[in-house]
Each structure stands twice: as structure tokens, then as C-alpha cells.
Amino acid sequence: MPRYINEDKCTGCTVCVEYCPVHYPDQFNQEISQNKAVHIYYSQAIPLITYIDESCLYLKEKKCRICEAVCKNDAINLNQKAKQMEIKVGAIVLAPGFEPFDPKVRDQYHYGEFANVITSMDYERVLCATGPYEGEILRASDLKHPSKIAWIQCVGSRQVNPEGANSYCSSVCCTYTQKQVILTKDHNATAECTIFHNDIRSYGKDFERFYARTENLPGVQFIRSYVSVVKEDPVTKNVTIRYSTTDDGVKEEEFDMVVLSVGLNPPVDFKEMTDKFGIELNAHGFCETNPVNPMETSRPGFYISGAFQGPLDIPESVVTASGAGSQCGELLNYRRGNLSRERVYPPERDVSLEEPRIGVFVCHCGANIGRIVDVPETVEYSLTLPNVVYAQEQLFSCATNSAEEITDMIKEKGLNRVIVAACSPRTLEMLFRDTLREAGINQYYYEMANIREHCSWVHPKEKEAALEKAKDIIRMSVARAQHLEPLMEIDLPVNKTALVVGGGIAGMTCALSIAEQGHEVHLVEKDTALGGTVRKIHDTLEGLDVQAYLRGLIGKVNQHPLVHVYTDATVTDAAGYIGNFITSVQSERGFTEIKHGATVIATGADVYTPTEYLYGEDDRVMTHLELEEQLSAGDEKVINAESIVMIQCVGCRNEDRNYCSRICCSESIKNALKLKETNPKLDIYILFRDIRTYGYNEDYYREAAGKDVKFIRYEEHEKPEIEVAENEDGKNVLRVTLPDYVLGKKLEIDADIIALAAAVIPAAGTKEVENLFKVGLNPDGFFKEAHAKLRPVEFAAEGVYLCGIAHYPKLIKETISQAYGAAGRALTLLSNDLVTVSGSICEVDEHKCVSCGACIACCTYDAIEFRETELGKKAVVNPVLCKGDGLCNTKCLTGAIQLKHFTDEELLSQIDAVIPEKTEIAQVKAVV
């Protein structure tokens, strides 16, 4: 589809949107509100420019063409035609995403019929500041604030009869609903929120706490019940829901609004995908992937990223994106860098001794600024300000010809400071800094005055005041520009080698992917052999022979010429920083000092040793890992058992460990199915709190239930009890007692074996690793990534990455995914020759430093340390580690530490310029 906009010319000023006469249901806002035929898709769109959709009058009836007339940059092209292009590539990544389930396919929800029944996607937009009601929660029928809202979980997911819907669990809905509840309560503290649910699946990192937080909010109720949407009140349009609880039986309740927590469907055009790309799909319509590589499709060279593999949360999607990237890298490493071109800038002119010669360029931004703020007047005004030697207006400062004009003027007028009065620095500061470099001026001599977002856009009805404010903003920038200093960005060489700590599946997969891209990898394992926890696992739910896979992987690692394995190894010291680490390792090879550019932490996790349920006292009580080992070894005690009880959530989801171990439900069901296969007559009971077989594993849950594995729910405050007893036949058994909530009485089960779903807990040496590599832990003791959603395989410490269950419990295929993801992130560093460090970092004036250590104490980057200098012990900043937040500046007792580019002098000069009379004094002082 053509965009009908010339991308090179459109600046995203949106004047055309304003004049467009066509109102059309806004696709991005779920068609709740209206947009125009020409519009920007949404406020974070990339590129942030307009497109014209099929509702355009010209495209439909050859009428109108107003947008063409109002666009001052000639960016509209209504005659654009779709073009066919042939691009030669070596690998293809498919990232088509997913489609929210459409509840209209099942009339039971009355979606589209009852005005106040909406989907969670609709509600998501309603909650959003850029949504249809600008962030106000309103209901469609009367645009009033709903005060009583119900959420219905599993809409379109986990269906026994999947006709039109899906059998799998959509994985994300439990937690997104909780987020919506929290946001609803933020908007309206008195809102009553009720969530009708099946199992609550808070299996993600930190999700259990999030669940608890939601549940503990006043006016929030979680009700475990199937529901039906009964009726709509013809007058109030309130919606009645019928549900049942074990205490009260069947009830009906009226709500102001009902949100359907819809699941995730495959992309709409999934069938075309197969035809077009020749890849296979699974039974659900998502992509069929390699069981040990969720990013690899059935066709070589085709990878996928994101939810096309099946329902996936944001962090996992981001991980697969890096992972797919890494695998393309493996394939195409021989061509790396072939298409890149180096920019060459003219040599920088040293102007530090010259008097400031400031140039001010005021942008009209089409009509965005110009029709509110009198731009020529601001230009005149700028020329009256101290040290401003040149000022001019520009239609669009960001257009290529305008940037060239700035470069030319710098040269012609001998400017050594440049101010562009236009929009937010967030979008264009980098561009204009580059403009200065093109003119041979240090880029930190650039200053941006935001007279669009901060002025014309917010004061469209007060032109006079807006003009004065624009002058204020420019004057403040001029004041600051006087004090700007040239700053150097340091280029550091990158050591091309990687260190991977931990030789389990995560560490080995990651090491191989990095090595396949031509980098040497040192793989350090504390044990005497590679393999990690997975050595104890025999198969997966999907039926993978784990040991065979592991043998293959270990073989590849040992044979790879670029991977150096150190077993029986201990890391004794870790020093250095991004691109230049030095780590000392004591191993079978003796003492080695390894120099490397990137570090990957893949140190795995341990299994909780239960102290409950007679574990350790009676050898019929065992963990699932032990059960699996005995089962595969053909232990008679297990094979000949008549009854097995499995107890879930042992050692987690409690006060001590308030997290879900994520894998145990699938693990228990896997063992249950395996046991049933060996002995179909065996009675199996799984005692659970919530069954958390997210994603496709839901199908195995159903299979187990179908094979008569009995699932009995218990609650944390009434845990099952176990005693050794004799049954009617005089056999010594383990008697399990627990309440049955459905029947409302005590249940007794006699078992021959009890299998405990013991928690996954942080590995024993986690603390040492934390201290050595200066990385963080979350409250549960697992490693803490830099950002839970956006940077899931990186640490805040730059150049250090993580993967595997050291991050959080996860399934084997998820571990492999993350291992590729970490490799991908490590490669973005290792594939560069240099890393560039910003010039805007902190610096200590040693003469002023009193060595109090306040700056060191507050710096979470460990960027400041005491060093012996000629003036004694002083705080010194490591420019590579400093991130330029400047917190230390406000802790320093003597003003010795200053954040460059945001020094007190620079900031105070701006504050002084707020009130014009003060400015002149301050500026005269500055110039003198």
C-alpha cells in the first residue's frame, strides 16, 4: 500500500491532519474515536509521519486535495503507486505478531451487541493518555465513568471445545488484567473491580508480587468461577453477569462495564504465510518451530521473532528478536559490515578561546509554530540578545536543505554556538549536533530551544503570550549557550572475545552462537563436566530426548575451535569495563587471566530441598527431578506404585519465596503423563493452587485430565497433610489429607509415592557472582536485568549479559531462546571495533574535593572511586562507567563534582534568564 506521503519530505507537523475533512474510525484506538483520512498512526510510530488511508476523498472520488494545498513542504503525493521491488537477502526474519481474539465469533459474550461489553484491547486504549477519551475511563453508552467493572478471563483461550476459539492458554491475559485493574484504581480509587477467572497464571518474573499487590487493593475481588453474560439493562445499559461460588452457589450481579480479557490468535493472514514463505504452521495457525530453537522455522534461513511462535509476553518477544538476530548473524557473518559506510567529518575547529558567537535559527515547523508564534519577531528579538551575531527563520529546520543552510551559515558568519528554536530535543537534537559536526564545530556547542511542544502547541489560543514565552525560552537558551563547553566523546577499543560463565544449556548455546559469528569464547563451568541441571532431565512435554540433545550440544562445544572450555573452574577476580574486562579463573587448566570485551552470566539455579511433607524422612517422598530419574531408571518402587500424589508449589508462592517457579506445573504433568504411559492403572493426584500450564502446555494439562489424572485444588492456608498409615489391606502408605472445596469435606488419599514440585531457587554461588561482576539481584535473589521488558538479557552494568534460569525459572526452549538473545546482544557490542562514551559525564575538580565519599555512595554505576592523586586521596570518575545522571552533583558538599553539559553554571544561567532584567546582569558578568 502506498503511503501517499513522500517520506523524505514529511516532517510530521500534522497540519494536513487538521485540515483533512474526513472523519474516520481510528483503527489504532479500536475504532472508539475518530481520526482523519490523513493521520499519524499513533504517537510513537516510526517514522513519525503521516499516511493516507482508503477513506481519503481523493482516493475514493477524486475530490478534495486540501492536504496538498496546506502542506508547506510538498510532501503529499496522491499519485503514489505501489511499487514492486526485488531485494536480495541472505536471511529472513518474520515478525507478524498476533491478532487479538475477536469475541464476536461467540455470541455468548454479547460483544458488539451490549454497548458496555468491551475487549481488553478496547480498554487498553481507553486507559491510555493518547486513547479515545484522552486517558479518561468512560463507557461507551453514556460517556460516564464506570464505577463497577468486571473482567472475564480466558475469553477465546483454554476452551475445551475450541470451535472458533483456542485450546491453548494465551499466557499474558492474567497479568495484563491485573495491570488494567491497578491502572483503573489509579484513575478512580473507589472503583470496584471484580475479576472472574480460572487459574491465575502469574508465572512470569515478579508477577506473583504483582498479583498480590492487585489482590490487596481495596475494592478488588478475584472470583474463581465460570460466568455467563446474561443481559443488558435497557435503560442504564448495565450488564448482568451470572457466576457461582462454592460458598454462595449461583448468583447474578450487575456491572457498569464488562471487560473481556481476550486471548491471542495467530496473525490474520497466517495461511498466506505458508504459501508465500513456504514455512510450516502448527495446528493452531502459529509458526511451527524447531523444538529446541523457537526461532527456527521449517525452512532454512527463515527465522521468526515475537508472538508468531505462539502467545508470548513482551520480555520473551524481545529476547526472540535478539535471538533471531544472532542466528542471522551466524548465517551471514561472512558478509558482516559489507553494506555499512563510514561518515567522515571535517576536522574540528578549536573555538574555546573565542568569544561566543551565537547563531539562532527559528523554525516555523510548517504552520505548527509559525501560525501561533510570530517567528520573524522572535528572530528580531534574538538579535538583541548578548553574543547573538546571527539569526534567521526557517520553514522546517529539520529538512535536509535547512540543515545544510545551518552548516553554511556557521562557516560564513563564523558561528561557534548554535541554537535551533524548534521542537523537542528528544527527536532532533542528534540531527542538529551532527549538523554542527559537519561544519567543524564541537557538537556540544549545540542548544535546542523547544518552542513547539513547550509553547505553540500548548498555547494555541494565546498568541501574544505565546510570543513572549517563545522569547523567554530563546533567551534562556542563549544564556546557557554562553557557557557551553566543547566535550570529547571517548572511543574505546573493544576486545572481540567473550566470556561465558556457566556451562549449562544456556551458557553452551550462547557460547556457540557467539563463536559461530567468529568470536573467541571462554566458557567457564564450576563443575567437572558441562551440562548443568539439564543432565537430570530426560525428556520434555513435547517429547524431546533431552539427553541426546545435550550430548550433541556438548560435542559441538568441545569441537568448536573458537570455544575454550574451563571445567572445575572458579572465577577469582573480575575487573574492567565494557569492551575491556579482565577475569581471573582458577580451573583444571590452572590459573588463567582472560581478557574479554563481553561477559555472559549463565550460572543456572538450584532446586529447593523441601523441609516439609516428610521429605528426607521417608524415601517415598521425592522431588520431581528425583521422580524423573527413578522413573527413567525403571525403579520398581515407582513402576509398581498404585497411587501417586503430586504436591505443587513446595517452597515458593509463600512468604519466604514470593514467586512462582514457572516450570513445575508442566513438569508434574509431564511426569504424570509418562507414569500413565508406563502404568495406565496408576492413580495420580495433582494437588495444586493454580495450574500454570501457559501457552501450548495447556493441551497437555487437558490430556492429563482426560487420562484421569485427578487435579485437586488446595489453598495456601490449608496445605495437605501427610502421615504414615496403614490402609484397609494392611499396606503401609502415605496418607494425604486435605479439604475438598467442591464437596466441602475432608479428603483422604493413600499414596505409595509423593512427588513434590520443589521450587527453583537461586544458585548457591549467586551472591559471589553478583559481587564479582557488579550486577544486581531482584528481591528473590535471581539476577536483575537492566529493564524487565525492554532489556531482558542485559545487566545495567554495560557489556554484561545474562541468560538461562539464573535470570528466573524457565523451560528448556525458553532458556535456549534467551541464550540466543544474550548472544545477539553481546554481538551488537563485539561486532564493533570501538564503543563511544558520551561527553556529558561527571568530572571532579580535585582542588575542591574533600574526599567525603558522598558521590561514591550514591553512584549505583560504581563509576566513582577514590584514587591517590598529587593532591592526596580524591574521588575520580571513570568516564566509561558514568552514565551522566548527575545525582552525585547534588550530594557533593563542595560542588567539586560537576556533570558536564549540565554544570551549575550552565543551569543557573538559564534560571537567571527566566526574568529578563536578571539576565542582562548575569550575561554581562559571564561575558566579562
Partner 1 sequence: MCTGRVDLAHVLRAFSNGVDGVFIGGCRLNECNYTTQGNYHALNKVLLCKKIMEHLGLNPERLRLEFMSSGEGNLFAEVVDEFVKNVKELGPLGQGEGIDENGLKLKLKAFTKLIPYLRLVESERLRLNFDSIEEYTEFYGSEELTRLFSELVTDKLAISQIMLLLQEKPLSTGEIAQLLDLTPSEVSRHLNSSAKQGLVRYEESQKRFALA
Q: Which residues bind partner 1 (CB under 8 A)?
A: 43-44, 128-130, 134-135, 426, 458, 776, 786, 796, 840, 854, 857-861, 883-887, 889-894, 899, 902, 904, 907-908, 911-912, 914-915, 918
Cβ distance to partner 1 smaller for residue 349 or 891? 891
Cβ distance to partner 1 smaller for residue 134 or 355? 134
Smallest separation (angstroms) from partner 1 to the CB of 884 = 7
Task: Give CA–CA dist 237/117, Å, rounded.
Answer: 10
Smallest separation (angstroms) from partner 1 to the CB of 408 = 31
In the chain, the N- to C-terminal Cα span, in Å, equals 61
Pairing of strands 590-596, 580-587: antiparallel
Cβ distance to partner 1 smaller for residue 24 or 902? 902
3-state secondary structure of 348: coil
Smallest separation (angstroms) from partner 1 to the CB of 786 = 8
Smallest separation (angstroms) from partner 1 to the CB of 452 = 13
3-state secondary structure of 804: helix
Which distant-in-sequence residues (6+ apart) come within 8 Å of 802 by Cβ?
A: 600, 601, 602, 775, 783, 785, 793, 794, 795, 822
Cβ distance to partner 1 smaller for residue 293 or 778? 778
Cβ distance to partner 1 smaller for residue 130 or 727? 130
Smallest separation (angstroms) from partner 1 to the CB of 910 = 9
Cell numbers given for 831: 561486532
Smallest separation (angstroms) from partner 1 to the CB of 464 = 17
- The closest alpha carbon to 94, from 310, 238, 308, 250, belongs to 308
Task: Give CA–CA dist 432/406, Å, rounded.
Answer: 9
CA distances, 554 to each of 90, 506, 512, 514, 632 (Å): 28, 12, 10, 15, 21
Task: Give CA–CA dist 728/724, Å, rounded.
Answer: 13
Cβ distance to partner 1 smaller for residue 436 or 882? 882
Smallest separation (angstroms) from partner 1 to the CB of 890 = 5
Contact of 154 with 120, CB cutoff 8 Å: no
Strands (E), 674-744: 683-688, 710-713, 721-726, 732-740
Contact of 723 with 735, CB cutoff 8 Å: yes
Cβ distance to partner 1 smaller for residue 377 or 770? 770
Contact of 367 with 336, CB cutoff 8 Å: no
According to DSSP, residue 733 is labeled E
Cβ distance to partner 1 smaller for residue 405 or 885? 885
Smallest separation (angstroms) from partner 1 to the CB of 635 = 49
Smallest separation (angstroms) from partner 1 to the CB of 906 = 10
CA distances, 623 to each of 532, 649, 821, 881 (Å): 18, 11, 31, 44
Which distant-in-sequence residues (6+ apart) come within 8 Å of 357 by Cβ?
A: 387, 389, 390, 413, 414, 415, 416, 417
Smallest separation (angstroms) from partner 1 to the CB of 375 = 23
Smallest separation (angstroms) from partner 1 to the CB of 41 = 15
Q: How many other C-beta atoms are found inside a 10 Å radius of the C-beta of residue 3?
A: 16
Cβ distance to partner 1 smaller for residue 134 or 723? 134
- The closest alpha carbon to 748, from 688, 671, 687, belongs to 687
- The closest alpha carbon to 389, from 346, 360, 411, belongs to 360
- The closest alpha carbon to 725, from 756, 753, 750, 754, belongs to 750
Cβ distance to partner 1 smaller for residue 501 or 881? 881
Cβ distance to partner 1 smaller for residue 129 or 250? 129
Smallest separation (angstroms) from partner 1 to the CB of 129 = 5
Cβ distance to partner 1 smaller for residue 534 or 880? 880
Smallest separation (angstroms) from partner 1 to the CB of 780 = 16
Smallest separation (angstroms) from partner 1 to the CB of 179 = 14
Cβ distance to partner 1 smaller for residue 141 or 184? 184
Please state whether 186 falls in left (phi above 0), alpha (psi between -120 and 50) or beta: alpha
Q: CA 891 from chain center: how many Å? A: 32
Question: Taken in order 197, 201, 207, 212, is the CA torsion positive or negative?
Answer: positive
Cβ distance to partner 1 smaller for residue 307 or 797? 797
Cβ distance to partner 1 smaller for residue 176 or 277? 176
Smallest separation (angstroms) from partner 1 to the CB of 794 = 12
Cβ distance to partner 1 smaller for residue 740 or 862? 862
Task: Give CA–CA dist 900/444, Å, rounded.
Answer: 10
Cβ distance to partner 1 smaller for residue 224 or 901? 901
Pairing of strands 34-36, 38-39: unpaired
Smallest separation (angstroms) from partner 1 to the CB of 895 = 8
In angstroms and rounded to an integer, the radius of gyration of the C-alpha atoms of the chain is 32
Task: Give CA–CA dist 622/2, Å, rounded.
Answer: 63
Smallest separation (angstroms) from partner 1 to the CB of 486 = 18
Cβ distance to partner 1 smaller for residue 346 or 776? 776
Q: CA 482 from chain center: how many Å? A: 40
844-877 in b/e form (b: 16+ CB < 10 A) is bebeebeeeebbbeebebebbeeeeeeeeebbbb
3-state secondary structure string across 487-546: CCCEEEECCCCEEEECCEHHHHHHHHHHHCCCCCEEEECCCCCCEHHHHHCCECCCCCEH
Q: CA 644 from chain center: how many Å? A: 41
In DSSP notation, 546-611 reads HHHHHHHHHHHHHH-TTEEEE-S-EEEEEEEETTEEEEEEEETTEEEEEEESEEEE---EEE----
Smallest separation (angstroms) from partner 1 to the CB of 214 = 16
